[in-house]
Structure 1
Amino acid sequence: METIKPHQDIARVLISVLFISLMIIACIWIVQPFILGFAWAGTVVIATWPVLIRLQKLLWGKRILAVLVMTLLLILLFVIPISLLVNSLVDTSAPLVKSASSGQLAPPDLAWLQSIPFFGDKLYSSWHALLDGGGTTLLAKVKPYIGTTTGWFVGQAAHLGRFLMHCALMVLFSALLYWRGEDVADGLRRFARRLASERGDASVVLAAQAIRAVALGVVVTALVQGILGGIGLAICGIPYATLLSVVMVLCCLVQIGPLLVLIPAIIWLYWSGDNTWGTVLLVWSAVVGTLDNVIRPILIRMGADLPMIVVLSGVIGGLIAFGMIGVFIGPVVLAVSYRLFAAWVNEKVPSIENIPTDTPPSSQG
Structure 2
Amino acid sequence: MNSPRPQSQGLQTEDIGFAVLVVLISIAAAYLLAPYFGAVLWGVVAAIMFQPLTANLTERLNGRKNLATSIVLFGLIALFVVPTILLGINIANEATAIYGKVSSGQIDVGRIFQQILNALPDRIRGMVDEYGLTDLENIRRQFGSSITSGLQTVAGRALTVGQGALSFVAALGVMLYLSYFLLRDGQRYGDMVRTSLPLHVETRDALIDNFLLVVRATMRGTVVVAVVQGVLGGLLFSVLGIEGALIWGVLMGFFSLLPAVGTAIIWVPAAIYLFATGDTIKAGIVVFCGVFIIGMVDNVLRPILVGRDTRLPDFVVLIATLSGLELFGLNGFIIGPVIAALFIAVWNQHRDRRQAKADVAGSPIPPQTKVNAERAAEEAVAHPS
TM-score scaled to structure 2, two decimals? Answer: 0.66
Question: Which residues in structure 2 correspond to 1:199-238 (within 5 Å)?
Answer: 199=202, 200-238=204-242
Partner residue, 1:74: 80
Question: Which residues in structure 2 correspond to 1:104-123 (within 5 Å)?
Answer: none
Q: Per-residue deviation at 1:34?
A: 1.2
Q: Deviations over 1:110-135 (max 9, x none)?
A: 8976x969999xx9xxx9xx9xxx99
One of 309, 312, 317 as aligned partner of 1:303 = 309
Moved more, 215-224 or 183-192: 183-192
Task: Check 1:71–1:275 CA distance in 2 against 1; reply closer, same or farther (3 A cut).
Answer: same
Q: Is 1:33 aligned with 2:35?
A: yes
Task: Check 1:273–1:24 CA distance in 2 against 1; reply closer, same or farther (3 A cut).
Answer: same
Partner residue, 1:198: 201
Question: Which residues in structure 2 correspond to 1:235-254 (within 5 Å)?
Answer: 235-254=239-258
Q: C-alpha separation between the residues in 1 aligned to 2:249 and 2:224?
A: 14
Q: Deviations over 1:132-182 (max 9, x none)?
A: xx997x799x79x98799658845878996899779836852563245325
Q: Deviations over 1:25-74 (max 9, x none)?
A: 43222211112332233234323445556777899974112210112212
Aligned residue pairs, count: 336
Unaligned residue ranges in structure 2 (runs of 5+):
365-385
TM-score scaled to structure 1, two decimals? Answer: 0.69
Task: Check 1:274–1:139 CA distance in 2 against 1; reply closer, same or farther (3 A cut).
Answer: closer
Q: Which has the higher contact order (CA 8 A, sep 6+)?
A: 1
The answer to whether the Cα contact below 8 Å between 1:41 and 1:174 also exists between their aligned partners in 2 is yes
Q: Is 1:263 aligned with 2:264?
A: no
Q: Deviations over 1:209-234 (max 9, x none)?
A: 11112222222222222222223223
One of 319, 337, 341 as aligned partner of 1:313 = 319
Moved more, 242-251 or 273-282: 273-282
Q: C-alpha separation between the residues in 2 aligned to 1:118 and 1:246?
A: 29
Moved more, 176-185 or 148-157: 148-157
Q: Per-residue deviation at 1:285?
A: 1.1
Partner residue, 1:360: none
Query: Superposition RMSD on alpha carbons, in Å?
Result: 4.9
1:29 alignment partner AA: Y
Question: Aligned with 2:256: secondary structure?
Answer: helix
Unaligned residue ranges in structure 1 (runs of 5+):
101-105, 356-365
Q: Per-residue deviation at 1:308?
A: 3.0
Partner residue, 2:191: 189
1:5 alignment partner AA: P
- Answer with 1 or 2: which has the greater Rg: 1
Q: C-alpha separation between the residues in 2 aligned to 1:118 and 1:73?
A: 45
The answer to whether the Cα contact below 8 Å between 2:96 and 2:151 also exists between their aligned partners in 1 is no
Task: Check 1:30–1:20 CA distance in 2 against 1; reply closer, same or farther (3 A cut).
Answer: same
The answer to whether the Cα contact below 8 Å between 1:249 and 1:258 also exists between their aligned partners in 2 is yes
